[in-house]
Amino acid sequence: MIVGAGTMGLLLLQLALHGRASRVAMVDVNMQRLARAEQLGATRTYRDIQQALADVPLGFNCVIDATGVPAVIEHAFMAVKRGGKLMVFEVTSHEARISLSPFRIYNDEITIIGSMGFSSHFKPPSTLSVVA
């Protein structure tokens, strides 16, 4: 499940599908973004996380936050299945904080992953060398 169907969320959707994810649900409050997610191959779309959990009560194997909103990240954590993963992807402020249950992290063996990338982290194509 990907929370946030903005530019990065939609890119993550395409990456998940290209990586052979069998199903990808998308959550956003914007109906136009959800329509675009469906066009790009989202299996299901939802207006909120609770609605998604009504359909998948045990939660999702992998939940990706593409919003950067602390309250949304906390709700996304609640949608992670036992043994699943939460990836916090989107940029948030340095001062932002979230509250997660350490008991649930260890008891349900949840993995939390952070991921970020900026264009300044990669060399321009002209400086890349090719090994023959």
Q: Is residue 50 part of a domain?
A: yes
Residue 27 structural domain: 2-117
Kindly state whether residue 132 falls inside one of the protein's structural domains: no
Structure confidence by residue, pLDDT tens digits, 21-51: 999 999 999 999 999 999 999 999 999 999 9
Which residue from 89, 76, 101 is spatially nearest to 25, judged by alpha carbons?
Answer: 76
| Sequence-separated contacts (24+) of 35-41 with Cβ below 8 Å | 36/5, 36/10, 37/5, 37/9, 37/10, 37/13, 40/10, 40/13, 40/14, 41/13, 41/14, 41/17
In a domain, 17, yes or no: yes
Residue 28 lies in a domain: yes
Q: Is residue 131 part of a domain?
A: no
Other beta carbons within 10 angstroms of residue 25's beta carbon come to 22
| In the predicted structure, residue 122 carries a pLDDT above the cut 60 | no
CATH number of the domain enclosing 52 = 3.40.50.720
pTM for this predicted structure: 0.86
Domain total of the chain: 1
Tell whether 128 is covered by a domain. Answer: no
